[in-house]
Amino acid sequence: MSRSGLSQMCGYHILSWLKPDIAAHISGGPIPMSDDDLDKVIDTTSFAIEICSSGNYGSTKRAVERMRAKGQLARLTLGTDTPGGTGVIPRGMLRNICYIASVCSVPPAEAVAIATGNTAKAHGLDVGILAPGRPADLIVCGPVEGSAGTGIADAIGHGDLPGIAYVIADGEIVVSGLSRQTPPPKRKLFFSCCDVHAGSFTAQ
């Protein structure tokens, strides 16, 4: 991460002194810290760590693989660091999920959990986890035409962006049948809610 406006690296010594709640875009955005500093941050601190889609890909891979090997994925969060000097990265969070699943060997379900539950928890939000009493903003998605995946998990594991068919926010369908931002899923998807209060939900 860099200190805003200074183009100066924020490395281990600053972070170990500062002890932030979240160390944002530690793999760069665009200024990365050194590999040694990155390793020290992961090995000797306990605060949440964010990687972002505008960062250094090699540093991101190094960080995620090191955290995975040390059983520290619970402290990993995802962001985009946009809008910023990089601009705006369309589908940035989906790209993050696909990257850590396909390149960093994170299981697809864990990649989704990192992007949703981990990130929300680090920021003190009540979203990101499906549970009674919590907000239930959902997407219904599937592999797009040409994807190597037969299901959403293996599509993400291959690095393919999913096709979004439905988006549900605040209990309302805000995208139905086709997203303007992704190709459609190769198979027509639908969902039904049998008992909202009991949490019964199916999607096909």
- CATH code assigned at 182: 2.30.40.10
Q: 153: which residues sit within 8 A by CB, 6+ positions away?
A: 108, 109
Question: Rounded distance, CA 73 to CA 120, Å?
Answer: 14
Residue 31 has pLDDT above 70, yes or no: yes
Q: How far is CA 175 from the centre of its chain?
A: 21
pTM of the model: 0.85
Given a contact cutoff of 8 angstroms between Cβ atoms, the answer to whether 112 and 97 are in contact is: yes
In a domain, 131, yes or no: no
The pLDDT of residue 194 is 52
In a domain, 130, yes or no: no
Q: How many domains does the chain have?
A: 2
Place of tokens 């003190």: 124
In a domain, 166, yes or no: yes
Q: Say if residue 198 is in the same domain as residue 112.
A: no
The pLDDT of residue 117 is 94
In a domain, 132, yes or no: no
**What is the CATH number for 114?**
3.20.20.140
Domain range enclosing 169? 138-203
Given 122, 146, 163, which residue is the final one in a domain? 122
In a domain, 68, yes or no: yes
Residue 36 burial class via C-beta count within 10 angstroms: exposed 0-12, middle 13-18, buried 19 and up:
exposed
Mean pLDDT, the chain, whole residue set: 86
* Strand, coil or helix: 33: coil
Interval 37-91: pLDDT, tens: 999 999 999 999 999 988 899 999 999 999 999 999 999 999 988 777 777 778 8
Q: Say if residue 95 is in the same domain as residue 159.
A: no
Residue 170 has pLDDT above 50, yes or no: yes
Question: Rounded distance, CA 167 to CA 176, Å?
Answer: 7
Backbone angles phi, psi at 154, to 5 degrees: -75, -25
Given 87, 122, 157, which residue is the final one in a domain? 122
